A and B are shown apart, each in its own frame.
Chain A
Amino acid sequence: MSAIGALGRRLYRGEVNVDFVGRYKLWATLSGVLLLISILGLVIQGLNLGIEFRGGSVFSFDKPAASSIADVRDTVEAVGGHQVIVQEAGTRWRVTTQSLPEQGVTKVADAISAKYGVPDNQISKQIIGATWGGEVLNKAIIGLIVFMIAIILYLTLAFEWKMALAAVVALIHDLVITAGIYAWSGFEVTPATMLGFLTILGYSLYDAVVVFDMIKEVTAKLGTTAKMTYTEAANNALNHTLIRSLNTSLVAILPVAAILFIGTTLFGAGTLKDLSLALFVGMIVGTYSSLCVATPLLANLKEREPKYLAIAKRVHANRVAASKDAASPGKAKGKEPAAASTSTSGSANGSVATGKRKKR
């Protein structure tokens, strides 16, 4: 049985125990580097905003008999028009490109008249403003800020403020990294991309909330006599929902991956690619962040509470004593909490530990 196969089997049965929370330093470094790169990208490269945000140039001319949308698009793109949109407007073609300088406009007009024999004075050239400019963008940003506040309030009520904070940090983490990828790749940011960001926003929070709900349930059982620390309990909960997280992510990412694949291979540029890239990256980062950013951050915040400090101290003392007794060196961090756990998964492990051991 290959290692991957074995892993698959364990995943299938839901028996994994990865120390996510304990490795927060690794995650912090990884996320820190990713965030730094992203922010650098946003600052140095900036986002390649589409004509919906920046406005553009519009050409319109009578439709010659032998011309098609693809045809016109190729003609305009060949002379340097970017983000070319060709529309039929009655008996005319309407071509929208990124804002062009004066020479650019002349070049496009020349190309059109050369190709289709339309006299230059019959090509109307206009400048179009942003449909997603000022007001629309401002209101969307205001909406986002209000949403963040509403979410913090809601999660504080449903859980507690530390969870709310951790979830929102993870959310911002996801959005910044996704935006960073757009900055570095130079992919055009269109309204479709923005809507993709919104989907990520919902997805990232949704994922974090499901994980936190389980953490809340598991850690609620930690009394003063608890045999594991908050960090370990949180980790336990995380492993408990790991299957769910992975399954959910897979199920959500599969359609997006299909769209991204078809969007890039079959169509090159366009809405499909813009949107699905944002979703694809955002969902992967979202899954990662709910496991490796939100939860470790939460555990770190919680461990500072006197109650959990006390538990951690006592658990540690017990462990030292136990390891001396058993004279078993080495790190047992991963299995001990599970073996001694009072949590759901722990007791499950204890109660059905028969016979299965031989399977592997």
Chain B
Amino acid sequence: MLLALLVLILAMGGVMALQKAFVPKFGLDLAGGTTVTLSPVTEAGAAPSQESLDLAVNILRDRVNGTGISDAEVAKSGDNIVISVPGAGQKEVVGRLGTTAELRFRQVLAVAPAVIAPSPLPTAPATPAPSGTGTPKPGASGQPSSTAKPAATAKPATSATPAGRALSSALTAPTPAPSTSASGSGKADKSAKATPAPSASAPSGQPTAQPSDDPMAGVDLTGVDPAVAEQFKKIDCTKKDRGQGVQDNPDKQLAACSKDGDARYILEKAAVKGTEVSGATSGVDSTTGEWIVQVTFKSKGASEFAKTTGQITSAPQPRNQLAMVLDGLVISAPVIEEPIPGGQARISGSFTQKSATDLANQLKYGALPLKFKQSSIEEVSGTLGADQLRGGLLAGAIGLVLVVFYCLLYYRGLGLVAVASLVVATILTYSTVVILGHNANFRLSLPHIIGLIVSIGITADSFIVYFERMRDEMKEGRRSLRVAVEVAWARARRTILIADAVMFIAAVVLYFLAVGGVAGFAFAMGLTTLIDIAVVFLFTKPFVALLAKLPFFAKGHKLSGLDAERMSREAPAARTTVPQEG
């Protein structure tokens, strides 16, 4: 037991040393942070409705503080929304928060490269530049021939991009065009049913070179709204602002750029909207090792998705591609090889761990009902002076010293066990807070710190329950210390577990149901409860059992806290003199 605890403490110490993190991270009130003001951008400058602002506040709160332990704050300020994130240097994080995260799935009607190369390269389909991104079996997907099928269900998927240009863009761009695969859930066959369409591959059955500067060349415009076709011609995807953040109308066709600006698309009306997304997680594709986002649909979205994929899978290139449009940009447009039932889609496209996690969070917590621009971003100092933290710590230390004195005075030798247990609890709490701070962004605010100090005090109750039980057992006079230690433990253990369970239920319920500071505090509460149990089970009890073997305690030395005087009660008759007021 004691060894297990030692290993635990050493392991935590090791983690701290490895990460070179010895100081916990502090919350907004103590460390200050970054504050960003988001102003809604509405058409014609009309004031946004309060409902949509409230909704946006809630979504932003989830995005910035989804786990509830990072102590971030979101507030309305007139028509603006002010977000404060603890810690300096969070500009990037805060900046990403305001993105609308409106996801739509749209069928691709036409594709063209963003840049029209002045002189076309010769056809070179043989070098498919197997980038690996999104191709389940790299090397196979670029081949237009049917001899190199990566998987039974996979057909050589090709984009309508004229090969030469696409190739050149693939060769010049360090990261190839985002290629994506969508796969049905529940299939053991991991090799995607939808092979990604790397832009470097040659379209089969199409002229291999299109020496034309017209993006419309070779594009089938049947069913395309002329206005959108016109837009498609004009759109400049090489610009930095290539239309991201534009709120697209889901009921209209759309001309849009790819996220990296390599291609332009004409897209059908939205088939599935982001509101139909029920969950999103990020992870690493086991085959390709790249970061992906897995999206789960609600029931309506799932059937829509299955229907759409069923419809377009038989369409000719490029109309068998389904584009995923996020905030006005095509983040990927995989070819759909067969209908995808099951309501799950995979989005890939040169994500990093950070961007995949961010996107998953944004999709999970929903799209913002308004479009925002950052009107100001600034770093602010803590709301509380450093004096408050110092005062709190000083007071806490004084309080704990008093507790130590009291324990020693009252429990004498046993008090040492109590004090040692408190020290262990403090070490465990401190290292947990540090590790969580650096790995889960757990931020300590002043209330947390006071709460932790108090809970360390409450931890002492577990020892007190145990010690009192031990003394009861010994008072009964039937037991030696070594037996009493065990019998009392069996009884005290139940009390401690029941009482701690109450605390833990409180923590869990509040953590999951409440938001903001309450959730963070509940998290700390649950944490200390677990630490309490760990300390009592792994330290106090084994330590007492160990001490019970020492003659100092076993024989009831006057200073052991288990002396004869202590262990006996007055005769009942003497009780009558006890003042009832107690």
Q: Could you list which residues of chain A lie within 8 angstroms of chain B, going by C-beta atoms? A: 3, 7, 10, 12-19, 55, 58, 69-70, 85, 87-90, 92, 94, 96, 126-136, 139-140, 142-144, 146-147, 150-151, 154-155, 158, 191-192, 194-196, 198-199, 201-203, 205-206, 209-210, 213-214, 217, 240-244, 247-248, 250-259, 261-263, 266-267, 270-272, 275-276, 279, 334-335, 338-339, 344-345, 347-354, 356-357, 359-360
Q: Which of B15-23, B319-327, B512-520 contacts A (4 or more CB under 8 A)?
A: B512-520
Which of the residues A13, A19, A198, A254 comes within 8 Å of B457, measured between beta carbons? A254
B155 within 8 A of A: no
CB distance B391 to A266 under 8 Å? yes
The distance from the CB of A45 to the nearest CB of chain B, in whole angstroms, is 24
Q: Please indicate the chain B residues that have their CB under 8 angstroms from the CB of A130 in the complex.
A: 75-76
B579 within 8 A of A: yes
CB distance B498 to A198 under 8 Å? no
Which partner residue on chain A sits nearest B520 by CB separation? A195
CB distance B381 to A89 under 8 Å? yes
Which partner residue on chain B sits nearest A141 by CB separation? B514
Which partner residue on chain B sits nearest A193 by CB separation? B447
B348 within 8 A of A: no
Measured CA separation A350–B471 after assembly (Å): 16
B502 within 8 A of A: yes
The majority secondary structure among interface residues of chain A is helix
CB distance A88 to B380 under 8 Å? yes
**11 new A-B contacts at CB < 8 Å, known A87-B380, A334-B578, A353-B571:** A10-B578, A15-B575, A150-B505, A205-B506, A206-B461, A210-B495, A248-B458, A258-B398, A272-B395, A344-B476, A357-B574
CB distance A128 to B505 under 8 Å? no
Q: Which of B186-194, B229-237, B274-282, B561-569 contacts A (4 or more CB under 8 A)?
A: B561-569
The distance from the CB of A146 to the nearest CB of chain B, in whole angstroms, is 5
CB distance B509 to A263 under 8 Å? no
Which partner residue on chain B sits nearest A261 by CB separation? B395
Measured CA separation A222–B115 after assembly (Å): 90
Closest 4 CB pairs of A and B: A255-B399, A353-B571, A129-B76, A18-B582
CB distance B568 to A335 under 8 Å? no
Measured CA separation A350–B407 after assembly (Å): 29
30 contacts between A and B (CB under 8 A): A14-B569, A19-B580, A90-B379, A129-B82, A130-B76, A140-B518, A143-B522, A144-B510, A154-B505, A192-B447, A198-B525, A199-B525, A202-B506, A202-B525, A206-B502, A213-B495, A244-B465, A247-B468, A254-B403, A254-B457, A255-B457, A261-B395, A263-B392, A272-B446, A334-B580, A338-B572, A347-B476, A352-B569, A354-B571, A360-B574
Q: Please indicate the chain B residues that have their CB under 8 angstroms from the CB of A240 in the complex.
A: 472
The distance from the CB of A164 to the nearest CB of chain B, in whole angstroms, is 11
CB distance B54 to A195 under 8 Å? no
Which of A16, A131, A144 has the largest number of chain B CB atoms within 10 A? A131
Q: Please indicate the chain A residues that have their CB under 8 angstroms from the CB of B458 in the complex.
A: 202-203, 206, 248, 252
CB distance B383 to A150 under 8 Å? no
Return the CB mask of B248-259 against A: 1 if under 8 Å, else 0: 000000000000
Measured CA separation A270–B391 after assembly (Å): 11
CB distance B517 to A132 under 8 Å? yes
CB distance B501 to A255 under 8 Å? no
The majority secondary structure among interface residues of chain B is helix
Measured CA separation A88–B34 after assembly (Å): 11
CB distance B571 to A349 under 8 Å? yes
B1 within 8 A of A: no
B453 within 8 A of A: yes
The distance from the CB of B184 to the nearest CB of chain A, in whole angstroms, is 36
CB distance B391 to A275 under 8 Å? no
Measured CA separation A133–B76 after assembly (Å): 9
Which partner residue on chain B sits nearest A194 by CB separation? B518
Measured CA separation A15–B579 after assembly (Å): 12
Which of the residues A19, A69, A262 comes within 8 Å of B391, measured between beta carbons? A262
CB distance A348 to B475 under 8 Å? yes
Which partner residue on chain B sits nearest A201 by CB separation? B506
Which of the residues A85, A143, A244 comes within 8 Å of B513, measured between beta carbons? A143
Measured CA separation A205–B35 after assembly (Å): 39
Return the CB mask of B36-74 against A: 1 if under 8 Å, else 0: 000000000000000000100110010000000000011
Which of the residues A18, A129, A154, A253 comes within 8 Å of B75, measured between beta carbons? A129
Q: Please indicate the chain B residues that have their CB under 8 angstroms from the CB of A154 in the complex.
A: 501-502, 505
Measured CA separation A92–B35 after assembly (Å): 13
CB distance A272 to B572 under 8 Å? no
Measured CA separation A10–B575 after assembly (Å): 10
Measured CA separation A126–B505 after assembly (Å): 41
CB distance A256 to B399 under 8 Å? yes
Which residues in window 455-504 of B have CB below 8 A to A?
455-458, 460-461, 464-465, 468, 471-472, 475-477, 491, 494-495, 498-503
CB distance B515 to A135 under 8 Å? yes
CB distance A267 to B575 under 8 Å? no
Measured CA separation A134–B53 after assembly (Å): 13
Which residues in window 7-38 of B have CB below 8 A to A?
29, 32, 35
B241 within 8 A of A: no
Return the CB mask of B80-109 against A: 1 if under 8 Å, else 0: 001000000000000000000000000000
The distance from the CB of B83 to the nearest CB of chain A, in whole angstroms, is 10
Are A255 and B77 also in contact (CB < 8 A) when A199-B454, A202-B525, A241-B468 are? no
Measured CA separation A94–B385 after assembly (Å): 14
The distance from the CB of A28 to the nearest CB of chain B, in whole angstroms, is 18
